[in-house]
Chains A and B, each alone.
Chain A
């Protein structure tokens, strides 16, 4: 059920990217999509009342596997958050330059290229 909500958020973002005409709204929709995927990744590892995945004298490898939260998706999501930040920053920079040269954020008016 909770995974379905992630997919819903992803599809909402996709809808925004395809339908919205304002550059800023497109950027926000893309950020929404990124967050939906990241959320999905983190939720995969979620375990109710999960433990910290550290192997100690009391906490052997087998108990960690049984009780702890999977740490790999969290490490992956950190990377993908940083990538998302880079993409968004580049996109905002381009939007600012586009606004300077066209004087509008409306994509239907930013049309020098066609065909």
Chain B
């Protein structure tokens, strides 16, 4: 069968699943069964997508008239990452969501978010990109407020206002693109965009502001700790692990490298803003005493790392950025799931109030130990390789200051997390936690799988054939310059 004709199914399957799930059912197992089945199917489809660039013309219309869907090695790797993480989050939700009500609507929102993210990754049309971005983020606003407690509503409102402003910036950018090129198809836009006029620079400014807000780059980071820590734990894992990457970073990579071209993108600004957000994130994280809030603050700093790599714009910088994007999805999701498991079992999120949980929660203890060592960059776990790669890339480009910032932030991260491990799991067990039980197996298994990823993802870099297959091909897409469909048939 021709795999390209399956490309629209990445949007159709989650939308359809969401629709089925939003019809309320009394049987719980049925909801879980449909959600898990659909995500497994999507993961398999993502792994089967072709490696070479493929195009699908919706409705059979050509690039000038219709909407084109495209997949290339860069979108492929992010696509696989998204499907696998959402699958694990759905699996984890079976155990975790039992103290929430209305599972069918919860899953329906998760699937609408997934449809939006997949749409962003496979579309090659600017307005379509905006629509999918809104689908993904609108579902995520509702999911952040899902608990319905006052602080969750507050976080959701903050997130919603900033998210809408950023979407409007993106839409304004798209309107300007249409005014300049009379096209919305990315291939045609990348060909026609003319940088001799000031409007083209306005486009870059508008899109950078919108996408920077969406991915919580330094001056716009204030919404992220609230939003990501207030959501239910599996949703925090998806938001921090893949949503900011699919909605913010992936689109920014595509826009800078494949649409406007490296020479016109404000790359050094991005690198320095990334450095500032990595410093701010880790300093903010040091002052927190809520486990999930600390992880969310730390996400700001790791996204900053990715932006340093992007801002260098060199082969090694981009390789490091893409590897760190994948690694961060693995270890930050693992830690969010851990935090959720601890909260689920003990009802506590402030880690100064905890202690000695290693005795009653051995599995959570082991997985969070692996998560902490991976995020701290201890070799041979995955965090070490991407941080090393980013630092070497900075030194190779002669940016010693950036390399120093990366090293400082890595050091602060390394000192930050053993402290939490000590507060949460070591020491004496308080009286109130004597009856705490380990979380159910449906929550432990996804954590173990993510642990496995944390240990083995370094191999993506170390095994040459895998490096070629997954990472180098994606970097080559970015360094290949303007994005022209090779099967370009006007």
Partner-B contacts on A (CB < 8 A): 10, 14, 17, 23, 26, 30, 33-34, 37, 40-41, 44, 72-73, 76, 79-80, 83, 86-87, 90-91, 94-95, 97-98, 101-102, 110-113, 115
Q: Is there a chain A Cβ closer than 8 Å to B477's Cβ?
A: no
- B148 in contact with A97 (CB, 8 Å): yes
- Of chain A, the residue at the smallest CB distance from B156 is A94
Q: A86 contacts B178, CB within 8 Å? A: no
Q: Of A37, A90, A110, which one neighbours B154 at CB under 8 angstroms?
A: A110
What is the distance, in angstroms, from A84's C-beta to the closest C-beta of chain B?
A: 9
Q: How far is the CB of B181 from chain A (nearest CB, A)?
A: 12
Distance between B345 CB and nearest chain A CB, rounded to angstroms:
24
Chain B 279-290, CB within 8 Å of chain A: the 1/0 string?
A: 000001001100
Given the known inter-chain contacts A37-B171, A44-B178, A73-B178, please indicate yes or no for A94 contacting B284, CB distance below 8 A.
no
Question: What number of B residues sit within 8 Å (CB to CB) of A?
Answer: 36
Check: B446 CB closer than 8 A to any chain A CB. Answer: no
Q: Which of A17, A30, A40, A91 contacts B175 (CB 8 A)?
A: A40
| Choice from B141, B154, B284 contacting A115 with Cβ under 8 Å | B284
Given A94-B153, A113-B154, do A41 and B161 touch, yes or no (CB 8 Å)?
no
Give bound CA distance, A4 to B153, whole Å: 36
Q: Does B127 contact A (CB under 8 A)?
A: yes
Contact A98:B134 (CB < 8 A) given known A76-B127, A115-B287: no
Report A-chain residues with C-beta under 8 Å of the C-beta of B184: 72
A92 to B141, CA, bound (A): 13
> A115 vs B289: C-alpha distance in the bound complex, in angstroms?
11
The answer to whether B157 touches A37, judged by C-beta atoms less than 8 angstroms apart, is no
Is the beta-carbon distance between B160 and A87 smaller than 8 angstroms?
yes
Report 9 cross-chain contacts, Cβ distance below 8 Å, ordered by A residue. Answer: A10-B168, A33-B165, A37-B172, A87-B134, A91-B160, A91-B161, A97-B145, A97-B153, A113-B154
Complexed CA–CA distance, A98 and B178 (Å): 39
Cβ of B150 under 8 Å from chain A: yes
- Contact between chains at B168 and A37 (CB < 8 Å): yes
A98 touching B153 in the complex, CB below 8 Å, given contacts A37-B172, A87-B138, A90-B141: yes
Does B353 lie at the interface of the complex (its beta carbon under 8 Å from any beta carbon of A)? no
User: Are the C-beta atoms of B284 and A83 separated by less than 8 Å?
Assistant: no
CA distance A23 to B226 in the complex (A): 18
A94 to B, closest residue via Cβ: B157
The docked-state distance in angstroms from the alpha carbon of A40 to that of B171 is 10
> In the complex, what residue of chain B is closest to A98 when comparing beta carbons?
B153
Taking a contact as CB atoms under 8 Å apart, the answer to whether B175 and A79 are in contact is no
Min CB gap B209→A, angstroms = 10
Residue B395, interface by CB 8 Å: no
Q: Are B160 and A14 in contact (CB under 8 A)?
A: no
**B142 sits at the interface (CB 8 A):** yes
B164 at the interface (CB under 8 A from A): yes
Minimum Cβ distance to chain B for residue A14 (Å) = 7
In the complex, besides A23-B157, A76-B127, 12 extra interface pairs with C-beta distance below 8 angstroms are A10-B168, A33-B168, A37-B175, A40-B172, A79-B131, A90-B160, A94-B145, A94-B156, A101-B153, A113-B155, A113-B226, A115-B288
Docked complex Cα distance between A86 and B157 (Å): 14
B residues less than 8 Å from A14 (CB atoms): 165
Q: In the bound complex, do residue A98 and residue B154 qualify as a contact, i.e. CB atoms below 8 Å apart?
A: yes
Neighbouring B residues of A10 by C-beta, 8 Å: 168, 172
Please give, as numbers and ranges, the residues of chain A lying within 8 Å of B172 by CB-CB distance: 10, 37, 40
